[in-house]
Structure 1
Amino acid sequence: MPEPLNAGGQTPPIEPPTGCTSTLIWRLARRLYADHQPGPDGWCLNCRPAILYPCVARQLADFGLATAMGHTAAAPHLANKGHHW
């Protein structure tokens, strides 16, 4: 499973940061990130009660944020490890 992009208590900023290579991908992925958060019971708040967190949409959001910053990897879960905003 991919690791959440929440690095050190920080969340990705709403506006694309400096160095972002695709503002459109950033804005779409950031919206998915905001919409698919974990609930206290371990379920995605937007997908409940069907999907445990991280749901597919949150995994795509993590991958999209990393891609918008120019990070590439063979698998989405490799693209965001250790990324700080």
Structure 2
Amino acid sequence: MERVAIATDGAQATGHFGHCEGFTIIDVEDGRIVDRRFIPNPGHKPGFLPMFLGDQGINTVVSGGMGAMAVNLFNERG
């Protein structure tokens, strides 16, 4: 299963990962969406969001942009 987090403001994807209202989480199995939900952004703290999303089982993040620290933390976690 693929679990995707899309940084969103309302119904729109947002340009900055850390400052979004929250994340639309989409679960995909065999190329089909099997679940969709919204998780509010728990707060922009350096290094926190990659760990938070990783703990939610996220494998893919979609965002207009993110800082170097977040990119590095995601890469470290695989």
Give the TM-score range, shorter chain.
under 0.3
TM-score of the pair, normalised by structure 2? 0.25
Which of the pair is proportionally richer in helix? 1
TM-score of the pair, normalised by structure 1? 0.24
